[in-house]
């Protein structure tokens, strides 16, 4: 009797213990997935300027929470962009595997954002297809980054003007970058200093322009007035005062100064301005088209002798002419 009571107590005690079910011991097929960019965020930045790698990278981890082996299929959609990634992974029990997803953009692609979806799906569990749909996905943003590029063309690279003349120098500004940019206009300090010291008056009506990427060029004008004082300038062989000056015009991308690591992106062009003005009065005697000028320039020390001979001959002729006129008056 005592033995039966003990056995009954044991049976009742064992019946109250929490035995795990078969489902708890072997979980349903499942997979966990996490992805991030190199900076640790969910945004992938892609540089598309000429010479850039044109690629962005996401680092993902797929993990198996179960105590049996799983095979995982990897799929990536990048909103039309080309992607590279492993097509499948094999995960051991409670294991994890890191893999890389690389996205590639086109060179000079316009600045924009696109979405990317990375999906992991269980295709086998313990060597057989899973009885349930087990998948996870991660959404990321692809940022096509802006870059600056400016092109500047002088409409007239060589200009010929007179003294004290008003003239508009024209330049074409192109936005060759991939986003809207503001361009700062100006004249280099050295160029401005030389021109203003020479008597030029320079006026720039616009100091900046905003341009759409790859749009038609915008024409900008620089108003100039040439110097009024030229008397000290050299005289050329045509008896004209002649002097040449160089104006250097520049354009700077405002975006590059604010956001690009390489610093301000500046383009400049040069225009040669030559001023001609007719020499006046005695200045002409020292111009290159007179005999005395040629003698002075090329004769060196011998020029003085030649000039003295010419002067002597002229005085001699004048003296003889005076004597002849005097003799004729006495005869009369």
What pLDDT digit, counting tens, does each position of 194-216 carry?
999 999 999 999 999 999 999 99
| pLDDT per position as a tens digit, 57-115 | 999 999 999 999 999 999 999 999 999 999 999 999 999 999 999 999 999 999 999 99
The pTM score is: 0.72
Structural domain that includes position 261 = 150-284
Question: Is residue 243's pLDDT more than 50?
Answer: yes
158 within domain boundaries: yes
Structure-token match 């009742």, residue found? 12
Percent with pLDDT over 90 in the chain? 73
Q: Do 118 and 182 share a domain, yes or no? A: no
62 touches 96 (CB < 8 A): yes
Residue 261 DSSP symbol: T
131 and 160 together in one domain? no
Domain presence at residue 321: no
312 in any annotated domain:
no
pLDDT value, residue 225: 97
User: What would the two tokens of residue 312 be?
Assistant: 């002597």
- Of the three residues 95, 111, 144, the one that is the final residue of a domain is 144
Residue 258 within a domain: yes
What per-residue confidence (pLDDT) applies to 60? 96
C-alpha span between 102 and 55 (Å, rounded): 7
Find tokens 């045509």 and name the residue. Answer: 238
| Amino acid 41: pLDDT | 78
* CA 140 – CA 131 distance, rounded (Å): 30
| Judgement on whether residues 130 and 165 belong to the same structural domain of the protein | no
Give the side-chain half-sphere CA count within 13 A for 39.
10
Higher-confidence position of 17 and 36:
36
pLDDT of residue 57: 96
For the domain that residue 56 is a member of, what is the CATH number? 2.60.40.10
Together in a domain, 185 and 269: yes
The answer to whether residues 82 and 171 belong to one domain is no
**Domain identity same for 195 and 163:** yes
pLDDT at 293: 43
The total of other beta-carbon atoms located within 10 Å of residue 177's CB is 23
Which of 248, 264, 284 finishes a domain? Answer: 284
Domain count, the chain: 2
Distance CA 278, CA 284 (A): 9
Is 11 within a domain?
no
Note whether 135 and 258 are same-domain residues. Answer: no
Which pLDDT does position 295 carry in this prediction? 41
Residue 4 within any structural domain of the chain: no
pLDDT in tens, 146-178: 999 999 999 999 999 999 999 999 999 999 999
Residue 25: per-residue pLDDT: 54
Asked if the model's pLDDT at residue 238 lies above 60, the reply is yes
139 and 163 within one domain: no
What confidence score (pLDDT) does residue 292 get? 42
- Give the pLDDT mean for 172-195: 97
**Domain end residue (candidates: 121, 144, 167):** 144
Residues 38, 129 share a domain: yes
Residues 163 and 260 in one domain: yes
**Mean pLDDT in residue range 33-44:** 87
Model confidence band, residue 314 (pLDDT cutoffs 50, 70, 90)? low
Over residues 270-307, the pLDDT tens digits come to 999 999 999 886 555 555 444 444 444 444 445 455 55
Residue 289 is assigned to a structural domain of this protein: no
pLDDT band at 319 (very low <50, low <70, confident <90, very high): low
The tens digit of pLDDT for each residue in 213-229 reads 999 999 999 999 999 99
What is residue 314's DSSP assignment?
A: H
Residues 138 and 155 in one domain: no
Whether 118 maps to a domain, the answer reads yes
Q: CA-CA distance, 232 to 242, in Å (whole number)? A: 10
Q: What is the mean pLDDT of the chain?
A: 85
Q: Which residues contact 34 (CB under 8 A, 6 or more apart)?
A: 60, 61, 138
The mean per-residue pLDDT over the stretch 133-148 comes to: 97
The reply to whether 229 and 271 lie within a common domain is yes
274/159 Cα distance (integer angstroms): 6
| Band (313; pLDDT cuts 50, 70, 90) | low
pLDDT given at position 329: 46
């Amino acid at each position: 009797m005592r033995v039966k009571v003990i056995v009954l107590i044991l049976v009742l005690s064992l019946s109250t213990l929490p035995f795990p079910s078969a489902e708890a011991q072997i979980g349903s097929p499942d997979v966990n997935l996490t992805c991030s960019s190199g900076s640790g965020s969910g945004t992938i930045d892609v540089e598309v300027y000429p010479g850039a790698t044109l690629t962005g990278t996401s680092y993902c981890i797929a993990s198996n929470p179960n105590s049996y082996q799983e095979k995982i299929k990897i799929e990536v959609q990048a909103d039309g962009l080309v992607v590279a990634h492993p097509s499948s992974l094999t995960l051991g029990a409670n294991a994890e595997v890191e893999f890389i997803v690389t996205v590639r953009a086109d060179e000079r692609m316009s600045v924009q954002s696109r979405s990317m979806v990375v999906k992991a799906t269980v295709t086998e569990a313990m060597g057989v297809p899973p009885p349930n749909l087990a998948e996870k996905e991660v959404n990321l943003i692809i940022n096509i980054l802006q870059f600056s590029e400016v092109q500047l063309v002088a409409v007239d690279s060589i200009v010929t003007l007179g003294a004290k003349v008003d003239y508009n120098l024209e330049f074409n500004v192109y936005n060759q970058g991939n986003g809207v940019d503001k361009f700062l206009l100006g004249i280099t300090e050295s160029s401005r200093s030389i021109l203003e010291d020479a008597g030029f008056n320079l006026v720039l009506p616009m100091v900046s322009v905003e341009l759409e990427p790859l749009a038609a060029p915008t024409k900008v004008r620089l108003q100039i007035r040439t110097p009024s004082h030229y008397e000290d300038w050299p005289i050329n062989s045509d008896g004209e005062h002649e002097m040449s000056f160089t104006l250097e015009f520049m354009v700077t991308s405002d975006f590059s100064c604010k956001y690009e690591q390489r610093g301000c992106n500046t383009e400049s062009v040069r225009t040669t301005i030559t001023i001609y003005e007719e020499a006046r009065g005695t200045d002409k005697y020292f111009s290159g088209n007179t005999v005395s000028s040629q003698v002075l320039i090329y004769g060196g020390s011998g020029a003085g002798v030649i000039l003295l001979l010419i002067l002597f001959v002229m005085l001699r002729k004048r003296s003889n002419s005076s004597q002849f006129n005097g003799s004729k008056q006495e005869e009369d």
